[in-house]
Structure 1
Amino acid sequence: MKYLIRKVGTTCLGFTIAACSFASANKNPPVPSAEAPLVRAATASGEAQGFRQTPIVKGLERPWSMAWLPDGTMLISEKAGRLRVVRNGVLEPTPIAGVPEVLTTGQAGLMDVSIHPQFAKNRFVYLTYSHGTQNANRTRVARATFDGKALRNLRVIFEVSQVKSGGQHFGSRIIWLPDNTMLVAIGDGGNPPIQLEGNLIRRQAQNLRSHLGKIIRLNDDGSIPRDNPLATNKNANSAIWTYGHRNIQGLAFDPGARRIWSTEHGSRGGDELNLIQAGKNYGWPLVTHSKEYTGGEISKTRSQPGKIDPKVVWTPAIAPSGLAFYNGDRFPAWKGDLFAGGLVSQDVRRIDLDEAGNVRGQQEIQIGQRVRDVRQGPDGLLYILTDDSDGRLIRLEPTGG
């Protein structure tokens, strides 16, 4: 396997946008590429590398995401539209009441679950999900209060600006920034032959009036921050944080360096790891390493001034879903690294970063099942959800304690 690494210079990633300069947005000089060494685990369990896989829960139906409450209780979303509770390592039999009705077809369903940074005070839980019908649907974000048994006072705080057809490319991950605003990834709407407004729907990723193929930034009530990078652009939707994305299913935040990372599905290869910079264009589908599923080029352009190059391109595809930045103490050698789940590769990729955010190499941690999500828990350990009708919650633990 070959892994293309792009080294991208650091940029202002503060969250008071007025303090950042976007003068270089149209200047993206060519950057060198190199191969990232891939280290394969000696055993499926990884014990030779100082860690083991411990099954915690089984019997989940297509789990998609997980989040922890302050008391250590875990919430797990299932694609079919259920929100489950795990307390003290035990899956409670009754799902949480009050989850909105979701569309479940293809990739559609209940997706991310996220907890407000001030949950202890406001009890806010956030869900992303697909809503509508096979012929007219969109991604929504809802907020509700959780009383320990049910979601109360649920309301939709955001929905994608355009309805689309089919069951592809909804996104959608949530991360929180230090100012308590949220980033939400929205997919481009789907593959050919799906169209919107007389053109292939994937071209909406370059349409600044559309939410499709974007990362958006919202306040915790769904309103749009006034300092968003395109807020003063009369020809753009002011919720947009970045654009030119295909289908992001991994978002992670490095609180020390204040870097935002994403993993993005390509088409027939061309999966990407990106360093997310406010206001920037990530190229899709004008600049891409992906190929058409039917064969042939989507674009012959791999890099272009004004478009941000990926840090890693995975071809063959790993189908990345779930992304965690590790800053715990249980795995000292992994501190400062990223962990990306792989659906097709059925593994977790440890992505070794240097202090400047450049990729030095990768380690393949075989799971043997489709990995939908990977997160760092409050205990400093790594947790993995497998995408199956008998989905599992697995914990990575250091050997010897």
Structure 2
Amino acid sequence: MKRFLLLPLLLPALSAQDKPDFSKMKADQIFDQLCSSCHGKDLSAGVGGSLVDGEWKHGSSDDELMKSIKEGNAQLGMTPFKTVLDDRQIRSLVIFIREKEKQAKERGVEFPKPEPGKVTKTQHEDYKIEMVVEDGLKNPWAIAFLPDGRKLVTEKAGRLRIIEADGKLNPEPVKGIPTIIDHGQGGLMEVATHPDYEKNGWIYLGFADGKREGREVKTITAYVRGKLKDGQWSDQEWIWKADPKFYGGAGVHFGTRIVFDKGYIYFPVGERGGWHDAQDVENAKGKIYRLHDDGRVPEDNPKFEGKTPVPGLWSYGHRNPQGLDMDPRDGSLWDTEHGPRGGDELNLILPGHNYGWPVITYGMNYDGTPITGKTAEEGMDQPVTYWQPSIAACGLSFYRGDKFPKWKNDLFAGALAQQEIRRLRLVDHKVVEQEVVLKNIGRVRDVTDAPDGFIYVILNGPDRVIRLVPSE
């Protein structure tokens, strides 16, 4: 069993006049002021011992580290910091320590970095990568598959591209798609085909809708469906469009993915930088929605006493969901979402539930300043797992195919910042295995299983589409 304890942190004797203002400091600055004299500037040495070697003596959980920093330990000569730091600042220190601990553990670890023509070995399956599109795409975002062997790929700037059945990228984008606002993190994002596409021909798009007038931009995520006829977008119908009062100029947190199930469509809308909008069920932002696949609002969607929820609302308290899929075994809905620094999450999505942002989070601001000292609150769901450091979660897919039988029903999560794909095995809605199966060949924007049984991956930087195929 691991031994965990935060070893003594000694506060230098300071006069009231010289005492620094910790409320304005970032986590690394607080650590440097209060902790580095005992644990070293890199957290790995000093009279207090290493904080990154995995050897602790007083408990391994974040709550236990919080308590150690807050209450101290007189017997060990450890200073209590509850009179110096508030819960928010202590929480940011814990995140900082966890980040450094993880980075130290990964030094020297060899992760699977696939190369064309070579076999990549993982815990359960070995694979090779094949190049689907090497050149000609710019900022691809998502991929969908047509029954005739063609594939659709979105480009953030507002182009819907076709990969022909022979594997060649059609140089001409689809004409006539809706007006796309390429703004900040938003643009043309999701594309998905209806489960009965062969009968009805419906293709769905998720994108940044709005208007640009001079320097003023107002946008929010929207969803439409249409049909593809001779390279032309036609028969368009709106599926979901927010009230104009919710459009705004922020360039962040659009969300976007699409999942179909039994005549319903599920999709997220990010909180667009309006943190507390995610907690307001009457506000369109920071939510996951469920509609009939033609855009009608189901009568059995969640009700909220005393409130009139935005039409279609299924769950709330979300920040920036960019991964969404449904477990083929039991129909449970899962999302991954960008948290702040150290707060990326995997969530089991349940109707009417509140996922906490920004009241609770396991992360801090990107600059190292704190957000909140709370990681739990009554009435708010906990993530099934979260990632510190953040992985920049993007793209999510259960594997339903037969080409990789030992990966059957495993969940594959893409990561932009960490440039990786993580395989997660879920049992009884808990993560029992987690493995990096691909790393450092590009920012993983989308990962999805395909009708041919292979796993397709969209990469940014370089902008490519590849697929994972069995090694034999």
Q: Same fold (TM over 0.5)?
A: yes
Amino acid at match of 2:430: N
**Distance in 1 (alpha carbons) for counterparts of 2:333 and 2:449:** 16
Corresponding position of 1:176: 260
Corresponding position of 1:83: 160
Q: Contact between 2:130 and 2:469, CA under 8 Å: does it hold in 1?
A: yes
**Distance in 2 (alpha carbons) for counterparts of 1:166 and 1:43:** 36
Q: Quick one: structure 1 residues 332 and 226, their matched pair in 2 at CA, closer, same or farther if it must change by over 3 Å? A: same
**Distance in 1 (alpha carbons) for counterparts of 2:445 and 2:112:** 23
Q: Quick one: structure 1 residues 218 and 48, their matched pair in 2 at CA, closer, same or farther if it must change by over 3 Å? A: same
**Distance in 2 (alpha carbons) for counterparts of 1:242 and 1:116:** 23
- 2:194 is the counterpart of 1:116: yes
- 2:452 is the counterpart of 1:399: no
Partner deviation per Cα, 1:49-70 (whole Å, 9 max, x = no partner): 3111111112211001111112
**TM-score normalized by the length of structure 2:** 0.72
**Distance in 2 (alpha carbons) for counterparts of 1:40 and 1:328:** 28
Q: Contact between 2:417 and 2:443, CA under 8 Å: does it hold in 1?
A: yes
Q: Which has the higher helix share?
A: 2
Amino acid at match of 2:290: R
Q: Contact between 1:231 and 1:238, CA under 8 Å: does it hold in 2?
A: no
Structure 2: state its 5+ residue gaps. Answer: 1-51, 55-59, 63-100
**Distance in 2 (alpha carbons) for counterparts of 1:100 and 1:140:** 10
Of the three residues 401, 408, 430, the one matched with 1:328 is: 401
Q: Quick one: structure 1 residues 267 and 238, their matched pair in 2 at CA, closer, same or farther if it must change by over 3 Å? A: same
Q: Quick one: structure 1 residues 188 and 42, their matched pair in 2 at CA, closer, same or farther if it must change by over 3 Å? A: closer
Paired residues for 1:145-164 under 5 Å: 145-161=227-243, 162-164=246-248
Amino acid at match of 1:121: K
How many aligned positions are there? Answer: 358
Q: Contact between 2:413 and 2:422, CA under 8 Å: does it hold in 1?
A: yes
**Distance in 1 (alpha carbons) for counterparts of 2:285 and 2:352:** 15
**Distance in 1 (alpha carbons) for counterparts of 2:208 and 2:158:** 10
Corresponding position of 1:107: 185
Percent of paired sites with the same residue: 39
**Distance in 2 (alpha carbons) for counterparts of 1:307 and 1:127:** 31
**Distance in 2 (alpha carbons) for counterparts of 1:233 and 1:378:** 45
Partner deviation per Cα, 1:72-92 (whole Å, 9 max, x = no partner): 211101101111111232211
Structure 1: state its 5+ residue gaps. Answer: 6-34, 191-200
Q: Which has the higher strand share?
A: 1
Q: Contact between 2:113 and 2:441, CA under 8 Å: does it hold in 1?
A: no
Corresponding position of 1:56: 132
What is the RMSD of the two structures over their aligned residues, measured on CA atoms? 2.4
Partner deviation per Cα, 1:153-175 (whole Å, 9 max, x = no partner): 22333112311112111111111
Taking CA–CA contacts closer than 8 Å with sequence separation of 6 or more, which of the two structures ends up with the larger relative contact order? 1
Deviation at 1:138, TM superposition (A): 1.4
**TM-score normalized by the length of structure 1:** 0.84
Paired residues for 1:287-298 under 5 Å: 287-298=360-371
**Distance in 2 (alpha carbons) for counterparts of 1:283 and 1:111:** 25
Q: Contact between 2:112 and 2:439, CA under 8 Å: does it hold in 1?
A: no
SS in 2 for 1:92: coil
Of the three residues 87, 109, 114, the one matched with 1:44 is: 114
Q: Quick one: structure 1 residues 217 and 89, their matched pair in 2 at CA, closer, same or farther if it must change by over 3 Å? A: same
SS in 2 for 1:241: strand
Of the three residues 124, 130, 135, the one matched with 2:208 is: 130
Structure label with greater radius of gyration: 2
Deviation at 1:113, TM superposition (A): 0.5
Deviation at 1:234, TM superposition (A): 4.0
Q: Quick one: structure 1 residues 313 and 93, their matched pair in 2 at CA, closer, same or farther if it must change by over 3 Å? A: same
